[in-house]
Amino acid sequence: MQGAGLARGGSSPYFFLSYAHTPSHDSSGGDPDVWVKKLYDGLCEHIMGLTDLPRGAKVGFLDEKMSVGTEWTDELSMNLARCKVFVPLYSPRYFTSRQCGREWWVFSQRQITQRARGGPARKNTIIPALWVPVEPAQMPQVASDLQFNHAAFGQDYADEGFYGLIKLRYFRDEYERAVYRLAKEIVRVAGEASLEEGKISKEYESLPAAFGSDERPPEFDISVLACTRSELPQGREPDYYGDQPHDWNPYHPESAMPLGDHAAELVRTRNYKVNIGVLDESARMLNEGRPKAPGLVLLDRWALESHRNRELVGRLCGEQRPWISVMTPRHKDDVVTPERERELDELTHRTLVSRMTDRAGHYSANGSIRDPDSFGNELHRAVASAVHYYWENVETYPPEGPPSEPPRLRGPDLG
């Protein structure tokens, strides 16, 4: 597969145009996405004119050859990891495509990782474009949360999208104007962005999609149980803590973001509404009975030296709640004495021993998530486990009314 816009040189492409491939409606052999290629070529032409890019430079990337149902390629992966701007081409088909959802998810991880590390990444290195206008009710949460004024590219564009403008001759000038304005916005954002290169993965089929499942995604609860600077156990360094439990940042100084906020951003990219708080007596995940939402506890093992906190975790583990995952992260450079290490390991094991049995829910053992990257990888496994057990245990509601007898098949009336 050869993607358009990949030329010689090692520079990053300005933009990645993400779109849903249209299946052919007949056997004529024509390419139903020929108009998307026209849009892409127009953007590349304008960007070359608006910049000082040399001949042969990477302007953008368009996956021309991946048909519906085919696998990802190294070339696609590489360009997602290196592009400066991500341009999703909105249409009803786009938000039902798992491939498009994965592309969005992969790019968004680069933004979140850089923000977590204290980098200057912009929030809006995703620039949505309209192929066909989409009703708000058809959009997943990640798209609804992305505020963008499409009318800035022209009201006819906002009403019709690129597909309408390109197919109707009397909109020709409006089409050219909208393409030029989108190209200008790509150049502006790319010039301001300093997004670090992401990782190139060859296991895309196992990655989550940003648009969630066909069912409306549930809410997702995240609770933090951690020390504060005013209540540190003896011998504990204060660098990882703040005034509130929510301020806990076990990956300091590698990460500049509280762990709960980092986790919430990562979970939101899977199209969940996230509720984040502190694990205390009022936490919804401690309610008895069936689950109200899947959840995750981010546990600071030093907090277990508090009797109150051990009681809270005891309540969590006392009743089987596999829809609540538990993670106990610490930084690889967070060094304590061997004696304290043994004490903390024993305390953590005693408190969470019931989480170490089959079907008890996800538990990330101490020491297994020792840097932000491994935390992100493990978190997605923890979320998948919590959601799986949530659907297994959630209360179901049968149809109203008295039960009816199943229909009986009868033979022909032989009179």
Percent of the chain at pLDDT exceeding 70? 86
Asked if the model's pLDDT at residue 331 lies above 80, the reply is: yes
Asked if the model's pLDDT at residue 410 lies above 60, the reply is: no
| pLDDT at residue number 128 | 97
Query: Pick from 206, 227, 253: which residue ends a domain?
Result: 206
Q: What is the mean predicted confidence (pLDDT) over 345-351?
A: 93
Same domain, 123 and 235: no
Euclidean distance between CA atoms 203 and 160, whole angstroms: 37
Query: Pick from 175, 206, 237: which residue ends a domain?
Result: 206
Asked if the model's pLDDT at residue 274 lies above 60, the reply is: yes
Query: Does 211 reside within a domain?
Result: no
- Give per-residue pLDDT as tens, 96-141: 998 899 999 999 999 998 888 887 655 689 999 999 999 988 898 8
Of 233-237, 370-374, 405-409, least confident by mean pLDDT is 405-409
Asked if the model's pLDDT at residue 407 lies above 70, the reply is: no
Question: CA 143, 207, 66, 171: dihedral to nearest 10 degrees?
Answer: 0
What residues have CB less than 8 Å from 93, skipping those under 6 apart? 20, 22
CATH number at residue 149: 3.40.50
- Give per-residue pLDDT as tens, 149-207: 999 999 999 999 999 999 998 999 999 999 999 999 999 999 888 888 888 877 777 78
With beta carbons less than 8 A apart as the criterion, state whether 268 and 105 touch: no
Query: Does 414 reside within a domain?
Result: no
Query: Does 399 reside within a domain?
Result: no
Q: What is the mean predicted confidence (pLDDT) over 384-396?
A: 89
Query: Does 6 reside within a domain?
Result: no
Same domain, 184 and 286: no
The b/e string for 290-308 (b: 16+ C-beta within 10 A; e otherwise) is ebbbbbbbbbbbbbbbeee
| pLDDT at residue number 42 | 97
Q: Which domain holds residue 242?
A: 219-393
More confident: 238 or 216:
238
Cis peptide leading into residue 253 (ω within 30°): yes
Percent of the chain at pLDDT exceeding 90? 61
Same domain, 299 and 344: yes
Same domain, 294 and 155: no
Query: Does 58 reside within a domain?
Result: yes
| pLDDT at residue number 3 | 41
Q: What is the mean predicted confidence (pLDDT) over 295-323?
A: 94
Amino acid in the structure at residue 14: Y
| pLDDT at residue number 412 | 54
Same domain, 275 and 379: yes
Query: Does 345 reside within a domain?
Result: yes
Same domain, 117 and 224: no
| pLDDT at residue number 56 | 83
Same domain, 202 and 223: no
Asked if the model's pLDDT at residue 380 lies above 50, the reply is: yes
Return the H-helix or E-strand segment holding 342.
Answer: helix 338-352
Query: Pick from 206, 235, 261: which residue ends a domain?
Result: 206
Euclidean distance between CA atoms 233 and 280, whole angstroms: 19
Euclidean distance between CA atoms 348 and 234, whole angstroms: 17
Asked if the model's pLDDT at residue 8 lies above 90, the reply is: no
Mean pLDDT over each residue of the chain, to the nearest integer: 87
Of 20-29, 79-88, 258-267, 271-280, least confident by mean pLDDT is 20-29
Asked if the model's pLDDT at residue 346 lies above 60, the reply is: yes
Same domain, 241 and 366: yes
What residues have CB less than 8 Å from 346, skipping those under 6 apart? none
The token duo for 349 is 């094991």
The token duo for 81 is 């990891």
Asked if the model's pLDDT at residue 76 lies above 90, the reply is: no
Asked if the model's pLDDT at residue 213 lies above 80, the reply is: no
Same domain, 185 and 135: yes
Same domain, 254 and 356: yes
Asked if the model's pLDDT at residue 366 lies above 80, the reply is: no
Q: For residue 403, what pLDDT band results from cuts at 50, 70 and 90?
A: low
Number of H helices, E strands in the chain: 10, 9
Same domain, 225 and 116: no
Query: Does 398 reside within a domain?
Result: no
| pLDDT at residue number 10 | 47
Count: domains in the chain: 2
Same domain, 246 and 311: yes
Amino acid in the structure at residue 54: P
Asked if the model's pLDDT at residue 90 lies above 50, the reply is: yes
| Sheet with 85-90, edge to edge strand ranges | 60-62, 15-18, 85-90, 129-130
As a whole number of angstroms, the longest Cα–Cα distance in the chain is 93
